[in-house]
Amino acid sequence: MPNTTQPDAATRLSRRLALALPAATVAAPALAQGAAVSEADAARIAAEAYVFGYSLVTMEVTRRVSTNVPNATGTVGRAPMGQFHMSRTYPDASFRDVTAPNADTLYCTAWLDLGAEPWVVSWPAMPDRYYLMPMLDGWTNVMSVAGSRTTGNQAQTYVIAGPKFRGATPPGIPVIRSPTDMLWILGRVYCTGTPEDYAAVHAIQDRMKLQPLSSWGRDWTPPAGRVDPAIDTRTGVRDQVDRMSGVDYFRLLSELMAANPPAAADAPFVARMARIGLVPGRPFDVTRASQAVRRAVDGAPRAGQAAVVGRIRSSEAAARQTNNWFVITETGTYGTNYLNRAYVTAVGLGANHPQDAVYPFTEVDSTGQKLNGANRYRLRFPAGQRPPARGFWSLTMYDSNFFFVNNPLNRYTLSSRNDLTANADGTTDLLIQADDPGADRQSNWLPAPHDGFVLMFRLYWPMSAPAFSVLNGSWYPPQVTRA
């Protein structure tokens, strides 16, 4: 889950990508349309509308920042609209653009505007290599996901069409229909990180294509991107959203909902928002509103953000129950659970379906004490019980700010691709410490900093066996014990 906001203390709290979520929704019963709005009703509706729109507004600000470049060869994760950005190497410990970086896959990302016409995306066959190509609509729902688990590893081509398109498409090419004009392709291809495997994945990336439907059947060269100097590309996306006034936030939300309409299931809440003058596609004009509505709009950012932060804290408290690891599994599809959607947007924009990826996370040991490199730790897998994932698993080391830890091995993960040494009884120990454990144990060593750190598992394509799966809670990572 990429996120370009570097964390302060409050944001680090929101980076906990593996908190268990109790079911909840913020949508209250709709009020009768046309009724006068009291001070209390206006405040509630405005706060709920803020939460309702948080995912769409955040996606739009992310899109603006990510596409405000002339070409796809510069800043990590950024490319003009309608072009892939291909990550070519893993980041190292000097990398500071994205928190919780990934050292398992190379990303293949693109932003599309489906309002004018559909786009065609294709990629080559990838036999014996795990990959995942989720496509997110403007509300952060994973509305389509191709990949090893769902569609197989053969070469594939798709037409991606928006909600208003009614034209013809090339025969024999499947059509993916997006409910919104905004679409984010957040693909990734597994890589071992060796020079040979980098070259192999680069060859795959070089054969990925993205072009407008009108150019299908002929060569197409994307135009240079247009850079808008008014777009802030330095401030983190979450900070930009959080700093918006209520008026600016709702103006943008109403504008975005014209091309990215709410779902049919949202109709009761859409009617509720209309009580304060917030209507999809209609300019939001607070100057004609009552004083009660104006005060509610001004207070909406604080109230809405408090609801999201409260969800983070309540989820954290509820999740401290199994080996001190947190797991989030209600991701990728949100329905009318608007608070959950906003929460996941805040802590991990672009989250996959849990069937594709789960990210257990901890910052404490088996006794509940904060992890610290002044101590030595051990994580022991019972015999035959390494993390149950069909794609791959990895354990990543981050410092307290969620960046890689500099170390003499340039090793940031231990994973299923490592040649781990098992104990005589079949168990496997991962050694988590700052000092080198010696040549005979180095294969199982995950180097830690000398101060605080956090650990994050990645399980891609987690197994679904009833008695051995992170999906249903029958498997959790083992405790991190002090050695």
Domain with residue 176: its CATH number is 2.60.40.1610
Assigned domain for 226 exists: no
Residue where one domain finishes, among candidates 284, 303, 338: 338
CB 430, CB 441: distance < 8 Å: no
Assigned domain for 187 exists: yes
Percent of the chain with pLDDT over 70: 90
Look at residue 74 in the predicted model and tell me its pLDDT.
Answer: 64
When pLDDT is averaged across residues 260-268 and rounded to a whole number, the result is 97
Per residue in 212-245, is it b (16+ CB within 10 Å) or e — as a string?
bbeebeeeeebeebeeeeeeeeeebbbebbbebe
Look at residue 14 in the predicted model and tell me its pLDDT.
Answer: 36
Q: Cα dist. 374→5, 36, 432 in Å?
A: 28, 62, 11
Assigned domain for 120 exists: yes
Same domain, 43 and 75: no
Instruction: Say whether 269 sits in a helix, a strand or coil.
Output: helix
Number of separate domains in the chain: 3
Look at residue 8 in the predicted model and tell me its pLDDT.
Answer: 39
**CA angle (280, 352, 455) in 5-degree steps:** 125
What is the band of 314 on the pLDDT scale with cuts at 50, 70, 90? low
Same domain, 310 and 441: no
Look at residue 245 in the predicted model and tell me its pLDDT.
Answer: 98
**Residue whose entry in the numeric block shows the structure tokens 């046309």:** 34
| Structure-block tokens of residue 440 | 């005979």
Name the region of 324 (left: φ>0; alpha: ψ -120 to 50; beta: rest). left
Same domain, 409 and 272: no
Name the region of 322 (left: φ>0; alpha: ψ -120 to 50; beta: rest). beta
List pLDDT tens digits, range 269-282: 999 999 999 999 99
Assigned domain for 348 exists: no
Please enumerate, as own/partner, the contacts of 230-235 that have beta carbons within 8 Å and a separation of 24 or more: 231/64, 231/65, 231/68, 232/65, 233/65, 233/68, 233/75
Look at residue 202 in the predicted model and tell me its pLDDT.
Answer: 97
Same domain, 118 and 146: yes
List pLDDT tens digits, range 30-54: 333 335 889 999 999 999 999 999 9
DSSP at 195: H
Same domain, 376 and 456: yes
Same domain, 270 and 385: no
When pLDDT is averaged across residues 132-159 and rounded to a whole number, the result is 98
Same domain, 74 and 199: yes
When pLDDT is averaged across residues 190-203 and rounded to a whole number, the result is 96
Alpha carbons 299 and 278: distance in angstroms, whole number:
15
Same domain, 52 and 159: no
Question: Does residue 155 register a pLDDT over 60?
Answer: yes
| Structure-block tokens of residue 284 | 């939001």
Alpha carbons 424 and 432: distance in angstroms, whole number:
20
**CA angle (179, 185, 191) in 5-degree steps:** 150
DSSP at 71: S
Kindly report the CATH number assigned to the domain that includes residue 419: 2.60.120.600
When pLDDT is averaged across residues 264-268 and rounded to a whole number, the result is 97
Look at residue 13 in the predicted model and tell me its pLDDT.
Answer: 31
**CA angle (149, 154, 160) in 5-degree steps:** 80
Assigned domain for 287 exists: yes
Kindly report the CATH number assigned to the domain that includes residue 332: 1.10.3360.10
Handedness of CA 112, 114, 120, 126 (dihedral sign): positive
More confident residue, 467 or 21: 467
Same domain, 275 and 382: no
Alpha carbons 110 and 90: distance in angstroms, whole number:
19
Look at residue 77 in the predicted model and tell me its pLDDT.
Answer: 77
When pLDDT is averaged across residues 312-329 and rounded to a whole number, the result is 69
**CA angle (222, 59, 31) in 5-degree steps:** 140
Percent of the chain with pLDDT over 90: 79
What is the band of 9 on the pLDDT scale with cuts at 50, 70, 90? very low
What is the band of 3 on the pLDDT scale with cuts at 50, 70, 90? very low
Alpha carbons 444 and 301: distance in angstroms, whole number:
47
Question: Does residue 27 register a pLDDT over 50?
Answer: no
Assigned domain for 223 exists: no
Residue where one domain finishes, among candidates 183, 215, 247: 215
Same domain, 388 and 417: yes
Assigned domain for 256 exists: yes
When pLDDT is averaged across residues 43-68 and rounded to a whole number, the result is 97
Assigned domain for 354 exists: no
- Amino acid in position 61: V
Look at residue 30 in the predicted model and tell me its pLDDT.
Answer: 36
Q: Which stretch of 16-30, 146-160, 295-309, 326-340 has the lowest confidence by average pLDDT? A: 16-30
Question: Does residue 203 register a pLDDT over 90?
Answer: yes
CB 12, CB 401: distance < 8 Å: yes
Range of the domain at 180: 69-215
Burial of 120 (0-12, 13-18, 19+ CB in 10 A): buried
Same domain, 241 and 146: no
Residue where one domain finishes, among candidates 281, 303, 338: 338
Look at residue 236 in the predicted model and tell me its pLDDT.
Answer: 86
Same domain, 211 and 82: yes
List pLDDT tens digits, range 71-128: 997 657 799 999 999 999 998 898 876 678 899 999 999 999 999 999 999 999 999 9
List pLDDT tens digits, range 440-461: 999 999 999 999 999 999 999 9
User: Which residues does 231 contact at the CB level (< 8 Å), separation at least 6?
Assistant: 64, 65, 68
Question: Does residue 354 register a pLDDT over 60?
Answer: yes
